[in-house]
Structure 1
């Protein structure tokens, strides 16, 4: 490995310190490092600045310093580039972050010695259609959310799968998740935890006004179509819970598996179930 990118969340107090230490450790070992343009100037290394969206064609691996939200944003920026991502957890739960900042020299040595594996995580592709016109297309790693505003009445989400009508969910909205996203917004809404190697799409109703509404699992080969309606206009589409688009009654959202995947760097020790036990503090043994 000859080139590595470092992306840091400036909102995390420790990010600048860890970025500086990683830069030193990599350069000491002869690795060419590129820093995201938000942190390069603060470290006094403006000559290494590279926007995260351009790292895909420049580096062999990207280290992300922050929480899962930071990693999700980088995963979208690098979608289609096949650049592995190693997350350093500076947040709270950190389901997607493999490395801890306590022993940076060990993490660097493991990387350069190839003592890791790559796990490809599926992504989602969403298209927003209004009056037969596609307004926008998005790529998500975790989920696509369709929800009402903070103080509004319920919305209706009519769901089709491959043109077969499933149900109309009346409530706060629905979440369509990848397996990776099953531990995010969907989990808090009562959805199941899904192992990341399961090939599927997960639909979870949010606060449904229906006794029979339950999360549903569909094949990853299928296309989910959601038509929204309400007596108000306070509805929104969110991508990984980070940004979105205001919806109108009659809008249609198509969600399917993306052709892109996110390659995550994982150490050769531990497992998905160990991460779940640790992060959720569940006593399943």
Structure 2
């Protein structure tokens, strides 16, 4: 089968502090995948930092923006964190992404590393299911000026400091006051992020096709303060009233320190991330595998 994708951008997990054995394993995996893509008729372009930190040579390199403008497909080798970072950057370019899991969970990098040789050929030939994931556009407003701006695919989290007490937060939706909350923090999660930190904090799972957000308090002072699901057409505003060492985290990959009176706004981004999955993939397959559903002993009469 001939690939319908002419140029493929290859991204990897490239922490420079990784143990030598892990770094060697990453380099070997990237080399194998790059060679395989070339054998399928694809021109491989390796993301510049991936190539430098993995020691991968023999292929043209480019930064993420250049890959977004020139490549037909992005192939991400790593865990969900790697995919989150690349997905946010490539969403504005509309480049579809395939994830090969070299991490722990793999909710959004769903092809096992040992299966790529059998799973990729039909996908490269056009036999795949496409899945669009919404992004959140968030910013921190201080004294009427935006001092921080970020995209998030999973969640926006307002958190207390490691050694400080509870935060006091005012919550608004579309400019309407909702509640004053005292808690360790508050999570605004997309359907994609509903299976991440929000789930650990007691939130519900949202199917990725749902146009909504879930607001999940972290260790609330009032036990009646429960998670709530909202439509993603609204604008959510969280104001920090009191509390020390508070911060706002965006996909746990970028962070803004907060001051009293800061307002964190979250709204739907105009961009979406395009994921490609093997033909026949469903979200429920992922839940069964990653959450280990149906693994208990069968019931006996």
Question: What range describes the TM-score normalised by the shorter chain of this pair?
Answer: over 0.9
| C-alpha deviation, 1:207, in angstroms | 0.8
The correspondence for 1:215, drawn from 215, 222, 227, is: 227
Partner of 1:266: 277
In structure 1, stretches of 5+ residues that fail to align are none
The correspondence for 2:207, drawn from 195, 203, 217, is: 195
Does structure 1 residue 280 correspond to structure 2 residue 291? Answer: yes
Partner of 2:18: none
The size of the alignment, in residue pairs, is 283
Contact 1:179–1:198 under 8 Å retained in 2:
yes
What SS is found at the alignment partner of 2:188? strand
* Partner Cα distance (2:230, 2:270) in 1: 17
Partner of 1:4: 8
Partner of 1:241: 252
* Partner Cα distance (2:110, 2:71) in 1: 19
Partner of 1:35: 46
TM-score by length of 2: 0.90
* Partner Cα distance (1:249, 1:180) in 2: 30
The correspondence for 1:128, drawn from 120, 133, 140, is: 140
* Partner Cα distance (1:269, 1:88) in 2: 17
Does structure 1 residue 53 correspond to structure 2 residue 54? Answer: no
| C-alpha deviation, 1:185, in angstroms | 0.9
Contact 1:201–1:217 under 8 Å retained in 2:
yes
* Partner Cα distance (1:169, 1:276) in 2: 32
* Partner Cα distance (1:231, 1:75) in 2: 33
* Partner Cα distance (1:25, 1:197) in 2: 32
| C-alpha deviation, 1:25, in angstroms | 1.1
Partner of 2:262: 251
TM-score by length of 1: 0.95
Query: Which moved further from structure 2: 269-278 or 81-90?
Result: 269-278
Partner of 1:205: 217
| C-alpha deviation, 1:166, in angstroms | 1.0
Contact 1:125–1:139 under 8 Å retained in 2:
yes
The correspondence for 1:118, drawn from 122, 126, 130, is: 130
Contact 1:72–1:141 under 8 Å retained in 2:
yes
| C-alpha deviation, 1:284, in angstroms | 8.6
* Partner Cα distance (1:253, 1:92) in 2: 31
* Partner Cα distance (1:284, 1:178) in 2: 27
| C-alpha deviation, 1:99, in angstroms | 1.0
What SS is found at the alignment partner of 1:80? helix
| C-alpha deviation, 1:253, in angstroms | 0.7
Partner of 1:176: 188
Does structure 1 residue 95 correspond to structure 2 residue 107? Answer: yes
Does structure 1 residue 86 correspond to structure 2 residue 98? Answer: yes
| C-alpha deviation, 1:108, in angstroms | 2.9
Partner of 1:150: 162
| C-alpha deviation, 1:39, in angstroms | 3.2
In structure 2, stretches of 5+ residues that fail to align are 16-21, 297-301
| C-alpha deviation, 1:151, in angstroms | 1.0
Sort the Cα spacing of 1:181 and 1:84 in 2 relative to 1 into closer, same or farther, 3 A: same
What SS is found at the alignment partner of 2:121? helix
